Amino acid sequence: MIQETAAIETGCSLSDHDSSYKLLFSHADMVRDLLEGFVKEKWVGQLDFSTLERVSGSFVTDDLRDREDDVIWRVRWGREWLFVYLLLEFQSTVDWTMSVRIAAYVMLLYQDLVKSGMVKRQDRLPAILPVVLYNGKRPWNSALDVAELIRSIPGGLDHYRPRVRYLLIDLVRYHDTKPTAKHNLVMALCQLEKSKTVEDVHKVVKQLIVWLQAPEQSSL
Is residue 216 pLDDT above 70, yes or no? yes
The model's pTM: 0.79
- H-assigned helices in 61-156: 62-65, 98-115
Over the chain, what is the mean pLDDT? 80
Please determine, for residue 88, whether its predicted confidence score (pLDDT) is greater than 70.
Answer: no
What is the Cα–Cα distance from 214 to 35, expressed in whole angstroms? 22
Residue 37 neighbours by CB under 8 Å, 6+ apart: 176, 182, 184, 186, 187
**Pairwise CA distance, residues 206 & 220, whole Å:** 15
pLDDT at res. 100: 94
In the 8-state DSSP scheme, what is residue 128? E
Most confident listed range (14-28, 50-64, 66-80, 131-145): 131-145
Edge-to-edge strand list for the sheet holding 71-77? 47-54, 71-77, 80-88, 127-134, 167-170
What percent of the chain is modeled with pLDDT above 90? 20
**Residue 3 burial (CB < 10 Å; 0-12/13-18/19+)?**
exposed
Q: Quick one: pLDDT band at residue 2, thresholds 50, 70, 90?
A: very low
Please provide residue 88's backbone torsions phi and psi, each rounded to the nearest 5 degrees: -95, 85
pLDDT at 148: 95
Query: 95 burial class (0-12, 13-18, 19+ CB within 10 angstroms)?
Result: middle
Could you read off the pLDDT of 164-197 as tens digits, one per residue?
999 998 888 877 644 444 688 988 888 888 888 9
Average pLDDT over residues 65-76: 73
pLDDT tens-digit readout, 6-55: 443 434 444 566 677 778 888 999 999 999 988 888 899 999 999 999 88
State which amino acid sits at residue 216. E
Bigger pLDDT: 119 vs 61: 119
